[in-house]
Amino acid sequence: MSNIHLILGGARSGKSAYAEKLATDSGQPVTYIATAQVYDVEFGQRVEHHKVRRPAHWKTVEQPFNLGATLQAHAKANEVVIVDCLTLWLAQCICPDCDRPENLSWQHERSALLETLPTLAGTVLLVSNEVGMGIVPLGEINRQFQDEQGRLNQAIAQLADKVSFIAAGLPLTLKG
């Protein structure tokens, strides 16, 4: 069975770097599942920053959708999988203007992930933003995103063996 570790934090809190350190320290082979789609130059630069920081020998899988199936295909005993990040994956799944498969359903994507996580082998590090610490956003899609992100984080935290909150690059153990 897997060792699921949910790593939460705000933007630029150090959550990805923390997940990468845990993976490196494990000494095991690492698969990095990158969920982002690049829509503009500035975001492309952010993605490039993450790519440059990763060791060259890590396997990278760029997969913005079908995360449950992607994890099933790549999670293995004595290996580490990093998913970076659940927040971008969720945004792409619910955003009406994002480039996504026409038949994609957020409810199906979410259910598939939650059903798959407990069945996986190896260590799975899930990076996700904590978006509920600010104001309630204006706009229906923004509130929907905040609500769905909060619900997703809660559901995964229930399944996870360990949950960490990262602030200013420092981890705080919430569970495990």
Give Cα separations from 62 to 9, 58, 65, 82, 139 (angstroms).
22, 13, 9, 12, 30
Residue 50 annotated among the catalytic residues of the structure = yes
Q: Which of 50, 57, 74, 108 is catalytic?
A: 50
Amino acid at 125: L
The DSSP bridge partners found for residue 59 are 31
Amino acid at 88: L
With beta carbons less than 8 A apart as the criterion, state whether 19 and 138 touch.
Answer: no
Tokens of residue 125, six digits: 């590090």
For strand 80-84 and strand 123-129, is the pairing parallel, antiparallel, or unpaired? parallel
Going edge to edge, which strands form the sheet with 123-129? 59-62, 30-34, 80-84, 123-129, 3-9, 162-167, 170-175
Q: What is the largest CA-CA distance in the chain?
A: 45
Residues with active-site annotation: 50
